[in-house]
């Protein structure tokens, strides 16, 4: 009999990890707006009530199944388009037309919602929500944020998530070399972190700008939050930067939204200029990943010699809680 401890590792991450998902920039959801977002096999209907609070409800009305994405906001409620029952952010019905009362069992299922870093986040998972993704070395109110356009990748969510921990691709794809071995740890459940010091070996315009800005010492820390978000914080000596990449599984593919940031302050217009530079540099960096990941069928062959951080990530991702559908298995 095989000792279970010696059983070969099978990479089998959830198709949709239990996590906070960035579903929209806050600016896309002004008061009174209703938005439908797809995630995994499901849809979520977001709405911003007149008070400014955001709700996230399951799409099909408890009463008879009309799609609430076609509804409208009335005060603190989302009103169903069909018989005008109105649901609050907790899924509790208000008054119903004709003055009647909804039965006590009437509840529209919903999700926990948070707003952070200029975005609307929704918790999709059975357990209690974990911490909403953010940065370790910046306070939120220090930062000006800009949400980029989502990019659809024809691969599973774990391909771009694993990319952040793939030390070998730093030289082959990004023109960077490590100055020392990366450090990997799990600072809290549901968060995996890698820290390293790199130098620039690439020769493109963005590489030369980075080399100049950093004195060729780029200290990076990457966090993956429950599989659905990766944050990248770089210390370039004279300046620091922070980027967030949010993943939303859609079918067997993934939508990646970059959130660019810069520190507030300085002379008028300076922060906007810095944000434009950060956006340029990070976009060049990410474009390289997008090119190589399109169409990828992520199928790691272990052991990954010389890429131990990635192997640690794969084991961590494989143990994440969440929804598992046939998409999640590694096809031989
Ligand atoms: S289906 Fe929504 S109120 Fe009837
Ligand atoms: Fe990359």
The pair of structure tokens assigned to 250 is: 């859609």
User: Mean pLDDT, to the nearest integer, of 258-287?
Assistant: 91
Task: Please give the pLDDT value at position 221.
Answer: 97
Ligand 1 touching residue 97 (CB < 6 A): no
**SS3 state at 37:** strand
pLDDT classification of 5: cutoffs 50, 70, 90:
low
Ligand 1 touching residue 61 (CB < 6 A): yes
Nearest-5° Cα angle at 299, 228 to 162: 30
For atom 1 of ligand 1, which residue has the closest CA?
Answer: 64
Q: Tell which residue, 252, 1, 24, has the closest CA to residue 122.
A: 24
Highest mean pLDDT among 38-52, 87-101, 205-219: 38-52
Ligand 1 touching residue 64 (CB < 6 A): yes
Ligand nearest to the CA of 198: 2
pLDDT above 70 as % of the chain: 96
172-202 exposure pattern, b = at least 16 Cβ within 10 A, e = fewer: ebbbbeeeeebebeeeeebbbbbbbebbbeb
For atom 3 of ligand 1, which residue has the closest CA?
Answer: 83
Q: Beta-carbon neighbour count of residue 156 at 10 Å?
A: 24
**66, 69, 96, 101: which to mutate for ligand 1, most atoms within 8 A of CB?**
66
- Rg (alpha carbons) of the chain, rounded to whole number: 22
Summarize pLDDT for 177-235 with one digit per residue, the tens. 999 999 999 999 899 999 999 999 999 988 898 899 899 999 999 999 999 999 999 99
Ligand nearest to the CA of 97: 1
Q: Tell which residue, 135, 181, 146, has the closest CA to residue 306.
A: 181
Residue 314 has pLDDT above 60, yes or no: yes
User: Mean pLDDT, to the nearest integer, of 41-69?
Assistant: 97
Task: Please give the pLDDT value at position 330.
Answer: 40
Q: Tokens 């929500």 correspond to what residue? A: 129
User: Mean pLDDT, to the nearest integer, of 234-263?
Assistant: 94
Phi, psi angle pair for 181, to nearest 5°: -65, 140
Residue 3 has pLDDT above 70, yes or no: no
Task: Return mean pLDDT, the chain.
Answer: 93
- Residue 284 · residue 204 · CB < 8 Å: yes
Helix (H) or strand (E) holding 290: helix 270-293
* Ligand 1 atom nearest to CA at 96: 3
Q: Beta-carbon neighbour count of residue 291 at 10 Å?
A: 9
Ligand nearest to the CA of 232: 2
Q: Is 102 left (phi over 0), alpha (psi -120 to 50) or beta?
A: beta
Task: Please give the pLDDT value at position 6.
Answer: 64
Q: Tell which residue, 151, 148, 133, 139, has the closest CA to residue 21.
A: 133
User: Mean pLDDT, to the nearest integer, of 16-28?
Assistant: 97
The pair of structure tokens assigned to 62 is: 């408890």
Task: Please give the pLDDT value at position 60.
Answer: 98
pLDDT classification of 331: cutoffs 50, 70, 90:
very low
pLDDT classification of 166: cutoffs 50, 70, 90:
very high
Rounded Cα–Cα distance for residues 277 and 109 (Å): 42
**SS3 state at 28:** helix
Domains of the chain and any CATH numbers: 16-124 (2.102.10.10), 140-323 (3.90.380.10)
**34, 61, 103: which to mutate for ligand 1, most atoms within 8 A of CB?**
61
Rounded Cα–Cα distance for residues 155 and 80 (Å): 35
């Amino acid at each position: 009999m095989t000792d279970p401890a010696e059983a070969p590792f099978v990479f089998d991450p959830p198709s949709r990890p239990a996590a906070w998902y960035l579903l929209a920039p806050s600016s896309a959801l002004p008061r009174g707006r209703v938005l439908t977002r797809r995630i995994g096999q499901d849809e979520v209907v977001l709405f911003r009530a007149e008070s400014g609070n955001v709700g996230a409800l399951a799409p099909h009305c408890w009463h008879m199944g009309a799609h609430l994405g076609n509804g409208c906001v009335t005060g603190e409620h989302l009103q169903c388009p069909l018989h005008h029952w109105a649901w609050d952010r907790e899924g509790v019905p208000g008054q119903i037309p004709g003055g009647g009362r909804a039965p006590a069992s009437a509840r529209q299922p919903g999700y926990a919602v948070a707003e952070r870093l200029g975005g609307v986040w929704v918790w999709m998972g059975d357990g209690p929500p974990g911490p909403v993704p953010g940065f370790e070395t910046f306070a939120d109110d220090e930062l000006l944020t800009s949400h980029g356009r989502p990019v659809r990748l024809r691969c599973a969510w774990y391909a771009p998530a694993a990319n952040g921990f793939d030390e070998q691709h730093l030289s082959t794809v990004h023109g960077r070399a490590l100055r020392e071995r990366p450090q990997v740890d799990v600072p809290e459940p549901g968060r995996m972190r890698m820290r390293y010091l790199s130098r620039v070996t690439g020769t493109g315009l963005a590489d030369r700008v980075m080399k100049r800005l950093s004195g060729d010492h780029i200290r990076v820390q990457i966090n993956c939050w429950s599989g659905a978000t990766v944050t990248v914080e770089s210390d370039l000596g004279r300046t620091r930067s922070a980027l967030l990449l949010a993943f939303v599984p859609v079918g067997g593919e993934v939508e990646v939204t970059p959130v660019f940031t810069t520190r507030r302050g300085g002379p008028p217009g300076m922060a906007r200029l810095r944000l434009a530079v950060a956006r340029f540099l990070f976009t060049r960096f990410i474009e390289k990943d997008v090119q190589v990941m399109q169409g990828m069928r992520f199928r790691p062959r272990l052991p990954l010699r010389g890429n131990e951080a990635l192997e640690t990530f794969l084991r961590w991702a494989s143990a994440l809680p969440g929804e598992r559908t046939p998409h999640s298995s590694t096809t031989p």
